[in-house]
Amino acid sequence: MCGIAGHLAPDRKASGDKETVARICEHLVHRGPDDYGLVQDGPMALGHRRLSIIDLSSRAAQPLSNEDETIQLAINGEIYNFELLREELEEQGHVFKTDSDSEVALHLYEQEGIDFLSRLRGMYALALWDGCKKRLVLARDRFGKKPLYYHVGPKGIHFASEAQALIESGNFDKEADLEAIDAYLALQYVPTHLCAFKGVKKLPPGAYLDCRPGSTPEPKRYHRLKFEVRRDLPLSQAAHELRKLIEEAVRVRMISDVPLGAFLSGGIDSSLVVACMATQSRLPVKTFSIGFPSKDHSELTYARRVSRLYDTDHHEMVVDPDMVSIVPRLVRHYGEPYADTSAVPTWYLSRFTKQHVTVALSGDAGDEGFGGYTRYRYARIARMLLALPKPLPRWIHELLSRLPIHQLQPVRDFGRRLLESEATRYLGLIAHFPHDDRMQIYTPDMQKRFGRDLIAADFETRLRESPADAVGKLMDLDIQTYLPDDILVKVDIASMAHALEVRCPLLDQEVMSLAASLPSDMKLRRLTGKIVLKKAVQDLLPSEITERRKRGFALPIDRWVREDLWQLVNDMLLDTRARQRGIFDIPAVEKLLDLHRRGESRGLQIWNLLMLEHWYRTFID
């Protein structure tokens, strides 16, 4: 796990800008505090910050080169099938200089060209320079575990692992992209096809750029999850296959030359990862949990239950966050506006875990792969209701829409949008600011510019083009958007801010491929999710873990905004600078704050606005 950066000059005869790359790398030290490397070969300058995980020796420092030093590689991440690939490549005559996992990508490219990407099993963002062909290949893993930002301009192509590092290079003006801001307000994150900084782009998951000096490359996909349903596979066999794949995915992620452990929330996903680790480890697994003073917002009891079951070396921490001081840290590290409140506990959990280990396994991707989110149940209910004889669906819509806002708000929001498109219903359940709410707080200019809901239109297209079945389309949508742009961003930034590598067995390509091949009723039956996953691990975990209601990091955000952050919120959202941006109608923002002060739950929306204003002041102003 590391940070990468580079510059490709616009002319084959020009030189790569080592000074700029060095400056970018200075802002990536937290991702790789152990070593630093910088090479320049003609128009290419390539930099690397190293977090040593496999082969801790200096010979494994990056950028790595092939036998005749015509190819250079810098990679952020881990290749889990490196041992098998290395055996194969050595049989074909390749000579390795290190014992690292990264070097296999270098020789695999020599052997197979750009097709080497389809052979890699892992999480990575990589930059490979072929000096003979004057070719730069930038690539990102299948599901977007590791990030990669780039900018194409008159000075060539600049790229980096994090947005703020790229911006701090000083090679282009810092200007906000308002379409990205509109998307952020809806989603709490900026989706891959946009970037908050105008002119900066994000390489999509499962894609690569084939760059030459002076070119303007476009991303090319090398992977797309296939939703080709296997109807002949009974549940028992599917569970058996899944169990074997998960155990193997855990095994290869336990390869490390540094101390290793696991996040343990007490939910089914992290618990099954710990269970599989414990059955394959000679020593007690180190597990890490975080809780809050209020029992209503803590899951430590369940984590302790799993820890006792598998006799883990358990570490837990109760946190009462200093919200005023954590906000600027989050804003600075996330680079783009980001308002998922669970970034707060993930930040503290990562910092706590790093005190004991350098690698941690997590249970991320279980919900997207196996139907764990409540929104999938709502989607199934909507299809059932819409299939009723008319005018029953409209009557139900009118009845649910009249529920008091303080009671069953998700049900009320669902009812309001029952007769609308699938994408609008989805956004109504997950959005901080659905389109009608954004229109209420925007200035007239912003209302005119974003009168059409661009995010809903994009999601509608994705849903229409997805080959999955009815409910599977929403899971496919989440795997394309919410998983890489929210969940994986949250964990990558929070963990790498503390030089901690996090590995996700449930995101393994074989596990996800099997999940995509299963019909939705193996994941979601009636209103119960993760059916096949629970069956696969039923002998590993008690029912109080597998059957309990999903909570995630339940946070007292309404209280935090009303108490800890109230003065900061008023100072930042209502002052002169906020008024002059021309984005929000200030009286509408004042009304929003007043509603929250008087007891209405608007904490998430206010947190969203606070993080955005802080982002403007940190990066744009």
- How far is CA 165 from its chain centroid? 18
Alpha helices by DSSP H, listed for 7-102, are 18-26, 82-91
Of 55, 100, 51, residue with least CA distance to 79: 100
Tell me the three state secondary structure of residue 72: strand
Cβ atoms of residues 377 and 530 within 8 Å: no
Tell me the three state secondary structure of residue 4: strand
Strand-pairing partners, residue 135, are 130
- The two structure tokens encoding residue 444: 């007239």
Cα-based distances in Å from 263 to 299, 442, 501: 13, 40, 12
How far apart CA 482 and CA 466 sit, in angstroms, is 15
Of 73, 83, 168, residue with least CA distance to 125: 73
How far apart CA 397 and CA 172 sit, in angstroms, is 50
Give the 3-state secondary structure of 393-439: HHHHHHHHHCCCCCCCHHHHHHHHCCCCCHHHHHHHHHCCCCHHHHH
Sign of torsion over alpha carbons 411, 413, 419, 425 = negative
The DSSP call for residue 284 is: P
- Phi, psi at 313, each rounded to 5°: -85, 90
Backbone φ/ψ region at 144: left (φ over 0), alpha (ψ -120 to 50), beta: left
Q: How many CB atoms lie within 10 A of CB 477?
A: 22
- How far is CA 533 from its chain centroid? 22
> DSSP states of 144-185 as a string?
--S--EEEEETTEEEEESSHHHHHTT-SS---B-HHHHHHHH
Pairing status of strand 64-65 against strand 44-50 = unpaired
> DSSP states of 546-598 as a string?
HSSPP-SS---HHHHHHTTTHHHHHHHHSSHHHHHTSSB-HHHHHHHHHHHHT
The DSSP call for residue 527 is: T
- 195 annotated active-site: no
How far apart CA 288 and CA 275 sit, in angstroms, is 14
Of 472, 514, 510, 537, residue with least CA distance to 230: 514
Strand-pairing partners, residue 130, are 71, 135
Of 452, 449, 410, residue with least CA distance to 428: 410
- How far is CA 207 from its chain centroid? 16
How far apart CA 314 and CA 312 sit, in angstroms, is 5
Backbone φ/ψ region at 214: left (φ over 0), alpha (ψ -120 to 50), beta: left
> DSSP states of 454-468 as a string?
HHHHHHHHHHHH--S
- The two structure tokens encoding residue 352: 């706590």
| Residues with catalytic function | 2
